[in-house]
């Protein structure tokens, strides 16, 4: 659902498709899995923080990054939804409203990117797909590059869209 929402939004921002109500539908359907993810992740993070044994400092730093970026995602998703409820994307508006949409979306994209940069490689280790250290490090390097490219594509889509309608 997240990927569907993101791809449709990018195609719209680049002007390749028209706005569709399915943007709202997929966005709304993301809510319940997101809440479940937040509850489980927060519980596991806080449970891990209470442990006395701090053996892996780099892992703790990455887990903290996940937690902080997760909080940022929640904040920016809330702002994203609220800003588009108050002023829909197709509605012609003043410069400062468009700038607000732009900044909120860029901060949301950056938060999601930083969160996924840590989360996806760790998820693949948890599922046993990256079973040795070299495969983890290699995948993580390639995935970081992929995330950077996707972030740039998203930022360029916002610039193209808001550059055209400013």
pLDDT in tens, the chain (166 residues): 778 778 888 888 888 888 777 777 777 788 888 889 889 988 888 887 787 666 666 677 888 899 999 999 999 988 988 887 777 665 566 777 788 888 999 999 999 999 999 999 988 888 888 887 788 889 999 999 999 999 999 999 988 887 765 5
- Report the C-alpha gap between 58 and 56 in whole angstroms: 6
Alpha helices in the chain (DSSP H): 2-13, 22-29, 31-49, 57-86, 95-126, 133-165
Determine if the pTM surpasses 0.85.
Answer: no
Please give the residue range of the domain that contains residue 122: 2-165
Predicted local distance difference test score (pLDDT) of residue 125: 86
- Asked if residues 31 and 13 have their Cβ atoms less than 8 Å apart, the reply is no
Q: Give the total number of structural domains in the chain.
A: 1
- Asked if residues 64 and 44 have their Cβ atoms less than 8 Å apart, the reply is no
b or e along 90-109 (b: 16 or more beta carbons within 10 Å of the residue's beta carbon)?
Answer: eeeeeeeebebbbebbbbbb
Predicted local distance difference test score (pLDDT) of residue 94: 73
- Report the C-alpha gap between 24 and 43 in whole angstroms: 29
Burial class (CB in 10 A: 0-12, 13-18, 19+), 48: middle
Predicted local distance difference test score (pLDDT) of residue 34: 83
Place of tokens 């899995």: 33
- Asked if residues 101 and 83 have their Cβ atoms less than 8 Å apart, the reply is yes
């Amino acid at each position: 659902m997240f990927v569907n929402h993101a791809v449709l939004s990018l195609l719209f921002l680049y002007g390749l498709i028209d706005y569709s109500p399915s943007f709202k539908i997929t966005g709304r359907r993301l809510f319940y899995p997101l809440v479940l993810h937040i509850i489980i992740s927060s519980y596991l993070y806080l449970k891990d923080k209470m442990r006395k044994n701090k053996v892996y400092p780099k892992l703790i730093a990455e887990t903290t990054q996940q937690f902080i970026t997760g909080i940022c995602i929640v904040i920016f998703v809330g702002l994203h939804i609220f800003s588009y409820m108050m002023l829909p994307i197709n509605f012609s508006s003043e410069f400062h409203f468009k700038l607000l949409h732009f900044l909120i979306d860029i901060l949301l994209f950056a938060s999601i990117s930083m969160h996924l940069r840590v989360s996806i490689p760790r998820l693949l280790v948890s599922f046993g797909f990256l079973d040795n250290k070299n495969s983890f490090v290699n995948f993580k390097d390639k995935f970081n590059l992929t995330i950077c490219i996707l972030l740039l594509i998203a930022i360029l889509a916002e610039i193209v869209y808001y550059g055209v309608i400013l």
